[in-house]
């Protein structure tokens, strides 16, 4: 179609031509070159457009999208306490894969439960993309990456074994949790005992953690219907746990496992017995009479017995707890109008009582403290479910689940270290965990010139003081 005369008549730079593109008239810079002695016109590129009867100078070269205001506070804090994990990962995976695993975990620790489709935009809009550039996090790339990581399951095991090997000689608390997982494919989505009641399938997670630092040491997902006793046997064998004192809860009682542990020098276990265990009556463990010296309130009584098979039993009675349980029992029985003297007599000796079995000859104070340290595991699982919002699995293949739970594990490690820092600085007395992160979200870095240096955006004074206290 011919260009209208009034368009061609508009004043424009020399050596240009007008071309129609749809309803627009663009102006193109032109030169020529000689081919076989003849001049041939060559377009150099768009230099402007005829708009409303005037030439408007400009180019249509697309510049790469840049983000010049980026979140800094949350990522910087999590990276401060998490970057050591990158070194651990790089001992097992190549550096590109190690960086991608770490950056996804870093983003999820900093921002909560980011679904895969949002990782790329969160990465580009945060300083993670400056600290760790050129990490590919598109939804498609991440989906393929998770499958790749999950397929190479032996590398996940190697990573966990490295962490177990680095933790030597101390108490290792092992416990599990369930979370919703209703996948149509894969072998891990199964109805647990609790899941059958709520009408939702589950996946089971087993975690080992350091009761002093509260930091996870290793973790592994299992099918939701797998018994704790079966899972712990596999967990100990696969991760080659060979050192220290493993502290379990009642649900992990597994004689076959204990027989294996008995043969491993340097590895011990401590597990509470159920109140109907025959060991309690046979060894009169419901009659602790010795004061537990060195414990904080001085009211705990204990008894220690060496069994005929060489194992040890330790029993403890807390008089305060015994009194509360006895009162509760009597009140409940009276309320139901079914108080029975014989039942009461049988139960009375068990109020406030806890009995442990171990192959180790231990100081009773060590035993009581070791089990007391077990309770922070509930805090760890609360972190998992609430602070980083990991209560539901949102991937749908075994390979992806193994990789996702590895990343979740890394996120929990970072989150635990950050929380420990808040407690150390006593910030937890003034703010909640989420409040601190909300304040840190105001801490941004900006760039006012293309390719220029990053500078800190202006902040309110109380945020500056928080940032200074955290050293970020």
Report the mean per-residue pLDDT for the chain. Answer: 86
Residue 364: how many CB atoms within 10 A of its CB?
22
- Give the mean model confidence (pLDDT) for residues 23-48: 88
What's the rounded Cα separation, in Å, for the pair 409 and 219?
Answer: 7
Structure tokens that stand for 259 in this block: 């027989």
Is 96's pLDDT higher than 90? yes
Cβ–Cβ under 8 Å, residues 142 and 104: yes
Is 39's pLDDT higher than 70? yes
- Give the mean model confidence (pLDDT) for residues 313-331: 92
What's the rounded Cα separation, in Å, for the pair 26 and 424?
Answer: 64
Q: What pLDDT does 391 receive?
A: 47
Pick the residue with more confidence: 227 or 124?
124
What is the percent of the chain with per-residue pLDDT over 90, rounded to a whole number? 49
Is 26's pLDDT higher than 70? yes
Per-residue pLDDT tens digits for 408-432: 899 989 999 999 999 999 999 999 9
Is 393's pLDDT higher than 60? no
Pick the residue with more confidence: 393 or 162?
162
Question: What Cα–Cα distance (Å) separates residue 394 from each residue in 171, 183, 197, 250, 391?
Answer: 33, 8, 21, 31, 10
Pairing of strands 290-291, 171-180: unpaired
- The residue to which tokens 């010795």 are assigned: 290
What's the rounded Cα separation, in Å, for the pair 439 and 458?
Answer: 13
Residue spans of the domains in the chain: they are 5-57, 66-185+387-472, 186-386
Cβ–Cβ under 8 Å, residues 421 and 81: yes
Q: What pLDDT does 91 receive?
A: 95
Structure tokens that stand for 356 in this block: 């442990």
- The residue to which tokens 């708009």 are assigned: 51
- Give the mean model confidence (pLDDT) for residues 432-439: 92
Is 443's pLDDT higher than 90? yes
What's the rounded Cα separation, in Å, for the pair 201 and 412?
Answer: 23
Single pTM value for the model: 0.77
- Give the mean model confidence (pLDDT) for residues 72-95: 95
Per-residue pLDDT tens digits for 144-179: 999 999 999 999 999 999 999 998 767 888 887 777
Of 27-36, 74-83, 126-135, which range is least confident?
Answer: 27-36
Q: What pLDDT does 438 receive?
A: 93
Confidence category of residue 225, pLDDT binned at 50, 70, 90: confident
């Amino acid at each position: 179609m011919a260009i209208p005369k009034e368009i061609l008549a508009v004043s424009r730079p020399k050596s240009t031509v007008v071309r129609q593109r749809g309803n627009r008239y663009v102006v193109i810079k032109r030169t020529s070159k000689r081919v076989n002695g003849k001049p041939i016109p060559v377009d150099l590129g768009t230099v402007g457009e005829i708009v409303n009867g005037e030439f408007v100078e400009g180019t249509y070269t697309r510049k790469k999208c840049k983000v010049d205001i980026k979140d800094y506070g949350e990522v910087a804090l999590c990276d401060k306490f998490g970057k050591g994990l990158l070194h651990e990962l790089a001992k097992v995976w190549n550096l590109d894969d190690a960086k991608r695993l770490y950056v996804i975990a870093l983003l999820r620790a900093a921002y909560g439960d980011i679904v895969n489709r949002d990782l790329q935009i969160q990465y580009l809009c945060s300083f993670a993309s400056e600290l760790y550039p050129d990490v590919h996090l598109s939804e498609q790339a991440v989906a393929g990456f998770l499958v790749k990581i999950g397929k190479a399951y032996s590398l996940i095991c190697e990573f966990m074994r490295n962490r177990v090997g680095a933790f030597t000689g101390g108490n290792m608390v092992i416990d599990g949790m369930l979370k919703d997982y209703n996948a149509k494919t894969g072998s891990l989505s199964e109805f647990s005992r609790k899941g059958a009641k709520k009408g939702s399938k589950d996946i089971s997670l087993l975690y080992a953690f350091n009761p002093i630092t509260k930091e996870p040491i290793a973790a592994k997902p299992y099918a939701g219907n797998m018994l704790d006793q079966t899972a712990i046997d596999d967990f100990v064998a696969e991760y080659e746990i060979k050192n220290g004192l493993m502290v379990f809860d009642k649900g992990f009682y597994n004689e076959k496992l204990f027989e294996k542990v008995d043969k491993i020098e340097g590895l011990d276990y401590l597990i509470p017995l159920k109140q109907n265990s025959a060991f309690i009556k046979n060894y009169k463990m419901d009659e602790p009479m010795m004061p537990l010296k060195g414990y904080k309130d001085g009211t705990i009584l204990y008894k220690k017995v060496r069994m005929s098979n060489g194992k040890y039993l330790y029993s403890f009675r807390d008089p305060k707890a015994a009194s509360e349980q006895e009162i509760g029992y009597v009140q409940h029985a009276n309320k139901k109008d079914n108080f029975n003297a014989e039942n009461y007599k049988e139960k009375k000796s068990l109020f406030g009582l806890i009995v442990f079995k171990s192959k180790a000859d231990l100081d009773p104070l060590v035993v009581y403290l070791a089990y007391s340290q077990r309770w922070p595991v509930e805090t760890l699982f609360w972190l998992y479910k609430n602070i980083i919002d990991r209560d539901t699995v949102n991937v749908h293949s075994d390979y992806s689940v193994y990789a996702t739970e590895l990343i979740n594990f890394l996120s929990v490690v970072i989150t635990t270290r950050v929380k420990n820092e808040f407690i150390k600085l006593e910030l937890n007395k003034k703010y909640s965990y989420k409040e601190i992160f909300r304040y840190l979200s105001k801490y941004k870095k900006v760039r006012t010139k293309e390719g220029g240096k990053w500078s800190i955006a202006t902040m309110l004074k109380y945020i500056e003081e928080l940032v200074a206290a955290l050293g970020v």
